Amino acid sequence: MQIAVSGGKGGTGKSTVAINLAIVLKDYFDLTLADLDVEAPNDHLLLGVELSNEEPVELFMPRFDYEKCTRCRKCAEVCEEHAIITMRDGTPFLMPNLCSGCAACEIICPVPGAILPGKKLMGHTYLSETPYGFPLVTGRLLEGEERAMPIVSRAKKRAQSLGKKLLMVDTAAGTSNTVSKALEDSELIIAVAEPTPLGIHDGELILRLAELMNIPAVVVINRADLGNVGKVHEIAKKYGAEVIAEIPYSENIIRSYVDGKPIVLTNYPEAKLFREIASKVSEFLGGGK
Amino acid sequence: MQLVIASGKGGVGKSTVTASLLYLLKDEYRFVAVDADADAPNLDLLLGVERWEEERELIGAKVARINTESCIRCGICQERCPYDCIKVIDGNYVVSELTCEGCNVCGLVCPVPGTISLAEVRSGLVRKTMTRYGFPLISAQLDVGRPNSGKLVTEEKEWAKKLMDELGLEHMIVDSAAGIGCQVIASIGGADLTILVAEPTPASLSDVQRAYRVVQHFRQPAYLIINKANLNPGFTELEEWATDEDIPILGEIPYDRAVPESMSMLKPVVEVFPDSKVAEAMREIAERVKEEVIK
């Protein structure tokens, strides 16, 4: 089983909801948390753990054997990213920054051995133990690299390979195809939205993506007292998503956030809110142990 | 000159800071504003834009499609897809259009000619309008689940450059997306400098450090604005990092409820709450931007 925490807009509290939810849900399900916000992964900081068990994510990158290359230009023609340019005589050159690592050039090349498999480091995945009884898998894109997709894809696979009953993914902001890759195979999307015009606008985008992907969604309104909550309810209703919680702006949540101490484990009154969210999600998933 | 606002982490206040900065710079400088967060464009909301003067569709994303009539169900496409985008649904091989990157590897390995082809789809809209503040805004909206939002940003910047020529504008101010991926790289690439916005939390520090490495990659100068500065008293690591890296701190903005309230009014906080502490801090920052940053 898989569920996802997403939100459209950045900074709405996705990671805060994800880590607190994971801490409570692990009492119901054997679970893995996957931080698939590979451009800005923060779940480990909120959980107060170091990233460990690093594995590189390397992509194929063509290397040309110019002795064997017949200058047929097929590699350049097939490259959808236009990462291979050819000289007047057909000699190919790679612009590594544009290469997506898809290996289409190697597949099309008619001369065996003319394109050799090189490697390009795109980022890393990590598997960290947390003190809360569940593992955290994190994807992290290398600074200067553009393509988040291979990291999202690899980190998700690593998380899936742990074979736990429940996989909970925390996605990046936005609604691009890397977010849909993270959401894919979820049985439920928990959309964390803010009631500001910006949060409402972006929250609607994530609900639209959920609808397109045919995944049920529920909404958690964060900083509920800083805007027009009615508007969020309206949008949620339009997409058939239940609003399962309203979390007020809270100094206690901020304090727990900056201290790296999950709010759900404190005695602050807000802890109860997160436990309620967890019990609603667990109910949706049919209980657990 | 071309100036970018970036942060790494989302929700730290990039767009609210940008909106106020644009408001405070508009009387002295001639510029075009670009909202380069195509996934979640918000600058138009903060500037009260009600309609777009011109909208252009960007057809550019490609996705693979499998003809189930001629497909022999060999499964080679699924095996070779670098991003696991091909699923078997009701016995048919189907490409998930919301995750496909359009590389065409499936089409190349398919043994039955004509079964898999790339279809061009719309990746989104690029839009232009004149704001009520007298400067033009270019914005983009990625269609949900589409790749290549970096291309939308490149398209926006090209349109912005044309506008600069047409209207005789001197500067381009780009509000980038969260993260450090293609949209942010398309924003920072070709710019003259980047203003980083961060809040004093470990998560924001970690993410702004990553954004800074992208800026360094392009060998640009960077500046830092500390937002929600009173959020976490005692957290000095952000300032220490900036000092160690020789990144000038342009100012600190306190957290203030005037910010979400101004958002609801669809106006920059400096316009609607000029007496707030946030507005005061923003004006000081704008002065430093005028003196030290814009040349």
Question: How far is C-alpha B204 from the chain's CA centre?
Answer: 17
**Burial environment of residue A162 by CB neighbours within 10 A (0 to 12, 13 to 18, 19 or more):** middle
**Cα maximum dimension of chain A:** 73
In residues, how long is chain B?
Answer: 295
Residue A20 pLDDT > 70? yes
Nearest to A50 by CA among A157, A133, A131, A161: A131
Which pLDDT belongs to residue B94?
Answer: 96
Contact A9 B263 (CB under 8 A): no
Structure tokens at B116: 């898999």
List of residues 6+ apart from B214 with CB closer than 8 A = A143, A144, B6, B180, B184, B185, B188
A130 touching B (Cβ < 8 Å): no
CA distance A173 to B39: 8
CA distance B6 to B225: 10
Contact A40 B266 (CB under 8 A): no
Q: What is the pLDDT averaged over residues B41-68? A: 94
From the list A100, A175, A201, the residue facing B101 with the nearest CB is A100
By DSSP bridging, strand B116-130 and strand B54-66 are antiparallel
Structure tokens at A190: 């928990």
State the fold for domain B60-122.
Alpha-Beta Plaits (3.30.70)
Instruction: Fill in the DSSP letter of residue B293.
Output: I
Task: Tell me the per-residue pLDDT of A76-97, one tens digit each, with 9 for 90 and over.
Answer: 999 988 999 999 999 999 998 8
Q: What is the ipTM of this complex?
A: 0.92
A258 touching B (Cβ < 8 Å): yes
CA distance B258 to B14: 16
Contact A7, A193 (CB under 8 A): yes
Which pLDDT belongs to residue A152?
Answer: 96
Q: What is the DSSP string of B73-122?
A: ---HHHHH-TT--EEEETTEEEE-TTT-----HHHHH-SSTTSEEEEEEE
Q: What is the pLDDT averaged over residues B253-276? A: 94
Lookup result for tokens 């898999």:
B116
Contact A177 B214 (CB under 8 A): no
CA distance B272 to B111: 64
Chain B hits for A169, CB-CB cut-off 8 Å, are none
Which pLDDT belongs to residue A100?
Answer: 87
Phi first, then psi, for residue B212 (nearest 5°) are: -65, -35
Structure tokens at A168: 């909970």
Which pLDDT belongs to residue B178?
Answer: 94
Structure tokens at B261: 């309230």
The full set of domain ranges for chain B reads: 2-49+131-293, 60-122
Q: What is the pLDDT averaged over residues B167-177? A: 97
Q: What is the pLDDT averaged over residues A222-244? A: 95
pLDDT band of residue A260 (cuts 50, 70, 90) is confident
Share of chain A above pLDDT 90, in %: 89
Q: Which one of B153, B180, B209, B235 makes the best mutation probe of the A interface by having the most chain A beta carbons within 10 Å?
A: B180
Q: Which one of A177, A189, A192, A221 makes the best mutation probe of the B interface by having the most chain B beta carbons within 10 Å?
A: A177
Give the closest-approach CA distance of B42 to chain A in angstroms.
6
Task: Tell me the per-residue pLDDT of A264-273, one tens digit each, with 9 for 90 and over.
Answer: 999 999 999 9
For residue A199, CA distances in Å to A192, A194, B112 come to 9, 5, 47
The yes/no answer on whether domain B2-49+131-293 falls in CATH 3.20.20.140 is: no
Question: Which residues of A, range 181-240, sit inside 8 Å of B by Cβ?
Answer: 181, 184, 196-198, 201-202, 205, 208-209, 212-213, 223, 226-228
Element (H, E) at A208: helix A197-212
Structure tokens at B147: 């790749």
Task: Tell me the per-residue pLDDT of A85-138, one tens digit each, with 9 for 90 and over.
Answer: 999 999 999 998 889 898 999 999 999 999 999 999 999 999 999 999 999 999
pLDDT band of residue A289 (cuts 50, 70, 90) is low
Q: A286: phi > 0 → left, psi -120 to 50 → alpha, else beta; which?
A: left
Q: What is the pLDDT averaged over residues B137-148? A: 90
Question: How far is C-alpha B238 from the chain's CA centre?
Answer: 23
Instruction: Fill in the DSSP letter of residue A264.
Output: G
Q: What is the pLDDT averaged over residues B106-135? A: 95
Please name each of the domains of chain A with its CATH number. Answer: 2-56+123-284 (3.40.50.300), 57-121 (3.30.70.20)
From the list B12, B45, B213, the residue facing A11 with the nearest CB is B12
A104 touching B (Cβ < 8 Å): yes
Instruction: Fill in the DSSP letter of residue B283.
Output: H
Which pLDDT belongs to residue B183?
Answer: 93
Residue B233 pLDDT > 90? no
pLDDT band of residue A288 (cuts 50, 70, 90) is low
